[in-house]
Structure 1
Amino acid sequence: MLLVQLWQFILDPANAFWDHTVAYLEVCAVSVVLATVLGIAIGVAVVRSPLLSFLAVNLSGLMRAIPIIAFLAAALPYLGVGFKPTIVALTLLGIPPILLNTYTGIRGIEPAIIDAARGMGLNTRQILLRIQVPLVLPIVAAGVRTSAVQIVATATLAAIIGAGGYGEYIVNGLYEFKTVQILAGALPVALLALLIELLMGWLQRALTPAGLRVQETALSEAARA
């Protein structure tokens, strides 16, 4: 039975399944963290400049249109093979959704809200922590959610340049026509992507202020009616 063979493959020490799991999680985690930090930093930096905003938004859209394999190929002459080019490629892949959501979230805050907060006596720090951050965080979390799922689902291609992980099972399985080996790489990636989607979806809802959740629920019910 296929599931039995798959379980035996995973448990076989010769296949180093847990080593591949650690390598894959490491690559994905580092890429997501770097993409999050850089995406938020760039989004905040360009939001006040129309020119920089235009360049950042359009370059982000262009980056999303370029296949990940092209990033990997472009990084090879400079970074060689293995961990470094994989991190660079996956980080570049993950930046655009976070950058765009950060930019959109900050620009979407109504100036009247800030003016009202100032009229209530709040200083700049209080406005940032009590109003701007709570309003922007759910949108940024949505960008991180999209970015993380993309990175997890795409990191298998890193096996082409020797970065290890589940991608090695898929590549070798396709080359040797071994279904069990392909599933040993594909199923964990699918499960990990699903887990990330669920966890980030929960985090996004948790970061959404109660007032906004009520408003979204009312709008959804009105749309269904």
Structure 2
Amino acid sequence: MEFIDFLGKRADDMWELGLGHAAVVGISVVLASVIGIGLGVLVYRNRRARDFVLSLTGAMLTIPSFALFILLLGPLGLGARPVIVALTMYGLMPVIRNTVAGLNSVDPAVSESAQGMGLTRIQRLLRIELPLAWPIILTGIRVTTLTLLGIAAIGAIVNGPGYGELIFTGLARVGTPVAVNLVLAGTLGVVVLAILFDILFHVARRLTTSQGLR
């Protein structure tokens, strides 16, 4: 009951922080998707290039988020910019991996048939291969989004927007009556955003994928 009262009093803050949290994650996911799909398209036919790109982006995931945010603080300053750059880096690997997997799953006979019909390499990619690979690519983008929603909360250490502000404020007040409510409110906000984004991806999948591929 006390927590419900707390949420009621902080409703405006919850709404404002939620918009900021969703914004930095949304921007980062768009950037990671554009860069990741582009890199996936470039390397999926070349094993050495593919392994190198996947290894490099996989290594980015091993960098502790606290350390990466602090390292980006120098060149980018406080605020949303270091958070967006860090989240974009963390989001690349799942998108690239699923783009490669999706494109490699396309039946070669389909591409050969399209080539026989006179379609160029770019036309085959845009009209045949990417649409067929899209469900797998979209799954990678969804995984990236849900992962970044959690990491974005840590961006509060560099004054990034989002529910991390509540969580870190609560941690700084451990031992006081309000500490648990602050941490719970921030955590609940992230969970609610994750559910909303997941619903959005479910709708996007239905709207952008042909019925035979669902």
TM range (shorter): 0.7 to 0.9
Pick from 9, 19, 22: which aligns with 1:22? Answer: 19
Between 1:201-210 and 1:191-200, the stretch displaced more is 201-210
Question: Which residue type is aligned with residue 189 of structure 2?
Answer: P
Shift in Å, 1:182: 1.6
Aligned to 1:199: 200
Aligned to 1:183: 184
CA distance in 2 between counterparts of 1:173 and 1:184 reads 9
Shift in Å, 1:134: 1.6
Aligned to 1:4: 4
Pick from 129, 133, 140: which aligns with 2:130? Answer: 133
Question: Which residue type is aligned with residue 123 of structure 1?
Answer: L
Stretches of structure 1 that go unaligned for 5 or more consecutive residues are 214-225
Question: Which residue type is aligned with residue 85 of structure 2?
Answer: V
CA distance in 2 between counterparts of 1:103 and 1:43 reads 5
Between 1:128-137 and 1:156-165, the stretch displaced more is 128-137
Specify the SS of the correspondent of 1:123: coil
Aligned to 2:64: 67
Question: Which residue type is aligned with residue 9 of structure 1?
Answer: K
CA distance in 2 between counterparts of 1:36 and 1:204 reads 15
Specify the SS of the correspondent of 1:66: coil
TM norm structure 1: 0.83
CA distance in 1 between counterparts of 2:161 and 2:130 reads 38
Pick from 110, 116, 119: which aligns with 1:123? Answer: 119
Aligned to 2:47: 50
Shift in Å, 1:5: 1.9
CA distance in 1 between counterparts of 2:164 and 2:138 reads 27
Aligned to 2:74: 77
Between 1:163-172 and 1:126-135, the stretch displaced more is 126-135
Cα RMSD after superposing both structures? 2.1
CA distance in 1 between counterparts of 2:147 and 2:40 reads 19
Aligned to 1:222: none
CA distance in 2 between counterparts of 1:18 and 1:198 reads 19
Contact in 2 for aligned 1:138/1:205 (Cα 8 Å): no
> Percent identity at matched positions?
36
TM norm structure 2: 0.87
Shift in Å, 1:191: 0.8
Is it true that 1:166 corresponds to 2:167 in the alignment? no
C-alpha distance 200-134 of structure 1, shift in aligned 2 (>3 A): same
